Amino acid sequence: MNEIELKEWDLKAMVPDPGSGGAWVQTSLRRRLDPLTGAGSRILTGVKLQPASRPDLSELTAKPEFCPFDAEHLEKATFAFPSELTDERRIRRGRAVVVPNLMAYATHSAVGIYDPERHFLDLDELSPSLVGDAVAAMVFHAQAVRRMDPGAGWSSISANYLPPAGSSLVHPHLQSCHDPCGTTAQVLMVERSAKWGAGSRSYWSALLELEAGGSRWVGSTGRVSWLTPFAPAGFHEIWGVVEGIGDITELTEEDCSSIGIGLSRVLSAYRKWNLASFNFAIFGGGPHARDAGYQVVIKVMSRSNPDPMYRSDATYFERLHGEALIDLAPEEIAEQIRPSFRESPA
C-alpha cells in the first residue's frame, strides 16, 4: 500500500546577525516538497512579511458611477445565456447572479456576482450563504455547460479578489473555466493522483487519513475536510477536499453550502489577520477523475494587501522557480484558524 512521504530538509542558512554585530549565525530554513506534485516550498524563520495593520480600502472600494455588476446596471451591462444552455437567462441563487463572461479565456466560462446590491463586500461580509449560493449558481451553470458540450470535461470555479489578486473589477465575483483540456495544475493533480493509484485508498483519502486531527488539520464542514498543505504554494493557504466526488458538476446543494461555510470562515480569519486580498480555486478532476481516485479540491490563499506601492507576494521564486517562500508555517495557520471551525455550521 502506498504511503504518503512528507519530505523536509533544513537547509541551515548562514546569515550575519545585525543584533550581534554581524556575527554569522545558522538559521533554520525548512524546504518541503508537496507529496503529490513535488513542488518545493521554503518555510523561512524569523522573517515576518505579514501586515501589522490593514490599508484603508475606502477609496479603492467606493461605489463608482458605473459598475457592470451593480444591480442597477447588471441587466443592461451583461447578457443573457442562450436558451440552448439554460432557460434561466441569468442564473440566480439567493442574492447571487451568474452571467456570461465577456472575456474569452476558456471554451465556456461564466462570472458569478455574490451580491449585485453590494458593490463591495469585505472579507468578513462574504457570509456562508453568499459564498455557498454563488458556488451553487456556478455549479448549476457548469452542469448546463456539460449537458450542452460534454467534450468540455475539465471544469473549475475560481476567484480573484481585489487588484493584487488579479481582479480588474473591485465588485466581488468568481469565475469559471470549462474546457476540453485542464489547466496545468489541474492536470498535474489528476495525473499524479492516478499514478498514486485509485484502488480502495486514493491519494486524497490517504492524505486526509494522515492529516486528520494533526497539526495541519483545520476541521470539516459537511463532507468537506479542511487542512493546511504540508508544502504551501502561497500565504495562509488552506485546502478543502470534498469526499467521494471528483468533479465540480457532482457538487450537491449541500456540498456548495459546506464550501460556503468553510470559505467564509477562512476569509473571516484573513480579515482578522489584517489581510485584504485572496485567490481561490475549486478544481474539478476532468473526464477521468474517478479512475484517478481524484477528489474535488478547493485551494484558497491570501495575496498582497492593496497598498498603493505594495510588495507583490509573487517573487522570482514563485513566478520563475516554481518554489514558494513562506514566512508562516502551515502548522501555525492551522492552529490559528482551527477554533473557528469548531463552531456549529452557520
Taking the C-alpha atoms of residue 249 and residue 61, their distance in angstroms, rounded to an integer, is 33
Q: From the CB of 276, what's the least distance to Zn ion, in Å?
A: 17
Cβ-closest position to Zn ion: 67
| Spatial contact of 300 and 278, defined as CB atoms under 8 Å apart | yes
Q: From the CB of 75, what's the least distance to Zn ion, in Å?
A: 14
Is 69 among the residues that bind Zn ion (CB under 5 A)? yes
C-beta of 67 vs 281, nearer to Zn ion = 67
**Residues in 117-136 that interact with Zn ion by CB under 5 A:** 119
C-beta of 90 vs 171, nearer to Zn ion = 171
Q: How many helices (H) and strands (E) does the chain have?
A: 9, 16
Q: Cβ–Cβ contacts within 10 Å for residue 8, how many? A: 12
Which residues, including other chains, have CB under 8 Å from residue 339's CB and lie 6 or more apart? Answer: none
Which residues, including other chains, have CB under 8 Å from residue 124's CB and lie 6 or more apart? Answer: 267, 268, 271, 272
Q: Which of 29, 35, 39, 70 touches Zn ion (CB under 5 A)?
A: 70
C-alpha cell at 292: 484517478
Is 280 among the residues that bind Zn ion (CB under 5 A)? no
- Dihedral pair phi/psi, residue 249, rounded to 5°: -70, -15
C-beta of 77 vs 210, nearer to Zn ion = 77
E strands in 20-153: 23-27, 30-33, 40-43, 91-93, 96-100, 110-113
Taking the C-alpha atoms of residue 324 and residue 114, their distance in angstroms, rounded to an integer, is 30
Q: From the CB of 69, what's the least distance to Zn ion, in Å?
A: 5
Q: From the CB of 175, what's the least distance to Zn ion, in Å?
A: 16
Q: From the CB of 232, what's the least distance to Zn ion, in Å?
A: 32
Region of 113-121, 231-239, 288-296, 324-332 interacting with Zn ion (CB under 5 A): 113-121
Q: What's 266's DSSP letter?
A: H
Is 67 among the residues that bind Zn ion (CB under 5 A)? yes
Is 171 among the residues that bind Zn ion (CB under 5 A)? yes
C-beta of 86 vs 167, nearer to Zn ion = 167
Q: Cβ–Cβ contacts within 10 Å for residue 231, how many? A: 26
Is 42 among the residues that bind Zn ion (CB under 5 A)? no
C-beta of 67 vs 261, nearer to Zn ion = 67
Residues engaged in binding Zn ion (CB under 5 A): 67, 69-70, 119, 171
